[in-house]
Amino acid sequence: MSDKTKPETPELERRAFLSCLGGALACGAAAAATGVVATEATAAAPATAAGPQPPAIPGYDWTQHRWAFGVDATKCIGCLRCVEACKIENNVPEDAHHFRTWVERYVTLEGEETARIDSQADPVNIAASGSESAYRFADRYKDQKVAKAFFVPKLCNHCTHPACVQVCPTGATYKTEDGAVLIDHTYCIGCQYCVQACPYGARFFNEARNVTEKCTWCYHRITKGLLPACVEVCPVGARVFGDRNDKDSAISKFLRDNQVQVLKRETGNAPNVFYVGIDKDVI
């Protein structure tokens, strides 16, 4: 563009036109830069100096924390208290179709090679609990020969490279400094691209509010020094939560003492929920 802005023969009309056009484009670009880039620049400028002020959360500085979650499937008893606590804590619709966290059961019968999977949302299990808003596993395999069986709690993985954030057209979902992936419900337009982008099925669409919802690691609790509700109520310590910046935290210890794995590593999302005691069938 710059070479076109040097008019050597102004008497040539075409060249004059091109130079004018080039100048106009340069002006436009400059204007756009002040419009779009400048806002980023002004935001970025203090970042190099002192950094923007962290969000106004009383007594909490998000630059000081790096949250992570651990699940020990060898301890989970499938009591589903976490699912109920999550629903209450986060006002999740009380039915069998909307869950921010849920528990899956993997049962391999003798002679079979792949696991049978059911969750609390399975009709048989709903029948056992008697209601869609009460959660209980049915002992449906008691008359069969079971080779292997275990429970796996699932939730949003709060990935380091979240696909859901990448596809959001409005900036309604984002990753915070301290590691949580959150949804700004006032900016969510309900397009559900993120629901489809998530490889873990961790997001659901709330038809009543026309927005997408997901686990926040109980961001309103962890910023007050509390544990997420599901971790708070887990009676067997199958769920672990903590700050990786703190070497003595439960999650640091969990990651140090166990050989952990993440779900669907090959998608490149780099989850921050770490699992112990799951096998090949768990996806």
How many residues at the interface with another protein, by CB under 8 A? 77
Tallying the residues shown for the chain, one arrives at 283
Query: Could you say which of 2, 9, 48, 91 contacts another protein (CB under 8 A)?
Result: 91
Site for another protein in 25-64 (CB under 8 A): 27-28, 31-32, 34-36, 39-40, 43, 52, 55-57, 60, 62
Contact 219, 180 (CB under 8 A): yes
Please identify which residue in 202, 229, 255, 278 interacts with another protein, judged by CB under 8 A: 229
Query: Applying CB under 8 A, does 156 fall inside the site for another protein?
Result: no
Please name which of 201, 221, 205, 224 lies closest in space to residue 213, comparing C-alpha atoms: 205
* Cβ proximity to another protein, 152 vs 263, nearer residue: 152
Question: Do 136 and 125 touch, CB atoms closer than 8 A?
Answer: yes
Residue 90 phi, psi dihedral angles, 5° rounding: -110, 10
Q: Looking only at residues 117 through 146 of this chain, which bind another protein when binding is defined by CB under 8 A?
A: 136-137, 139-142, 146
Tokens of 14: 């075409």
Q: 78 or 271, CB closer to another protein? A: 78
> Residues 36, 40, 41, 42: is their CA dihedral positive or negative?
positive
233 binds another protein (CB under 8 A): yes
Single out the residue of 171, 201, 210, 268 in contact with another protein (rule: CB under 8 A): 171
Residue 63 and residue 54: Cα distance in Å, rounded?
Answer: 8
**Min separation Cβ 83 and another protein, Å:** 11
Q: How far is Cα 109 from Cα 98, in angstroms, rounded to an integer?
A: 29
106 binds another protein (CB under 8 A): yes
